[in-house]
Amino acid sequence: MHPAFSVIFLTTLIGAGQGLFLALFSTQLYSEFDLLPSVGNTNFYGIGAAIALALLIGGLISSIFHLGHPERAWRSAARWKTSWLSREVIALPMAMAAVFAYGVVHLFGYDSVAYTHGSIELNTSLFVGIFGVIATIALFICTAMIYACIKFLQEWSSPLTVINYFLFGTASGFTLATALASYFELQEQTSFLGTWAIALTVLVFITRSASLYRNARIKYKSTIQSAIGVRHNKIQQKSQGAMGGSFNTREYFHGKKASFLKSIKIIFMILVFPVPLILMSTSINNGNTEVLVVAFMIQYIGLVAERWFFFAQANHPQNIYYQTV
């Protein structure tokens, strides 16, 4: 397939925003049950929610450039019963609203006790956060299923697609949350979030490697015989019927050589996994915020490369007929 950078930035930015929100809520939940110390009077949750919201908005804005008629974008939600894209269009503003409310509750001091049972006191932000977690996970599923549900693109049609979308987003979000906690000089939270960021990065390395292994050994169901409907053992295509390119060759093929794809795979495997892991491992205990920020930035650049490779690796069956130009 031909990778569209608008979709690449959409999926990577909202993934990081979703992961950051999950990291914030996880930290608060641990603090509520005295598994982590309180963040005190810092604006850790509020500022973090603002950053997560900015990432979600950035992804939404980038998606507009992928639309032929942006003024008709509202119609994309009409097919929510059958379309994962429509469900994503609904889930994204719900997640944004939850993150916005979560940030407002913390930033403006609206986080009062909403429920009491014996010695248990639950704040308003926890209930807002629970709704946000549901919306965030729903958004992860909807975004990933847009690609995983396409049966004829065998590289995408796998549960690993959904798993990797979730893990890449949460890993990058927890890495960013680690840097944010370090900035606020919250040592316990920095260690907690950094440990989770490392664990999630290692886990997604395993699952992404599994998908690469699987995709390298796919036995394609379509053949040149099935593409043109002729059952003959020896068929050789001499021409695609056009001297230059066409819509099919531009939109369903990336136009790069195999060596270029291999180099992109090596780049993202280095930038997403070992480099951030080394930087985080050496910085979460000494609170080196600058290094943790660099770790997130490098990982995000790697994620952009990974998402480009994800789209480019998908081999549309029509390419059997049109070949490559």
How many other CB atoms are there within 10 angstroms of residue 220's CB atom?
12
Could you tell me the two tokens for 310? 């994800």
270 neighbors 302 (Cβ within 8 angstroms):
yes
pLDDT score for 237: 73
pLDDT score for 241: 61
pLDDT score for 242: 64
pLDDT score for 219: 86
Mean of pLDDT values over 113-117: 68
Under 8 Å CB-to-CB from 250, ≥6 apart: which residues? 2
Give start and end residues of each alpha helix (H) in the chain. 5-32, 44-64, 84-107, 124-148, 159-183, 187-216, 224-228, 247-251, 258-272, 274-281, 289-313, 318-322
Q: How confident is the model at residue 114 (pLDDT cuts 50, 70, 90)?
A: low
What pairs with residue 117 in β-bridges? 120
How large a percentage of the chain has pLDDT more than 70?
Answer: 93
Whether the per-residue pLDDT at 141 is higher than 90: the answer is yes
pLDDT score for 25: 96
Mean of pLDDT values over 32-52: 91
Q: Which residues in 72-85 are b (16+ Cβ under 10 Å) and which e?
A: eeeebeeebeebbe
pLDDT score for 76: 76
Could you tell me the two tokens for 6? 């608008």
The 10s digit of each residue's pLDDT in 308-317 is: 999 999 888 8
Mean of pLDDT values over 34-46: 89
Cα 163 from chain centre = 10
- Average of per-residue pLDDT values in the chain: 89
Mean of pLDDT values over 152-175: 95
State the angle between helix axes of 84-107 and 5-32 in degrees (0 to 180), rounded to the nearest 10.
50
Distance CA(53)–CA(122), nearest Å, equals 24
Distance CA(301)–CA(113), nearest Å, equals 41
State the angle between helix axes of 289-313 and 187-216 in degrees (0 to 180), rounded to the nearest 10.
20
Fold topology of 5-218+249-322 = Formate dehydrogenase/DMSO reductase fold (1.20.1630)
pTM > 0.85: yes
Closest-CA residue to 22 (of 161, 160, 166, 121): 166
pLDDT score for 240: 67
The 10s digit of each residue's pLDDT in 220-244 is: 887 778 777 888 888 877 776 666 6
Closest-CA residue to 320 (of 229, 190, 216): 229
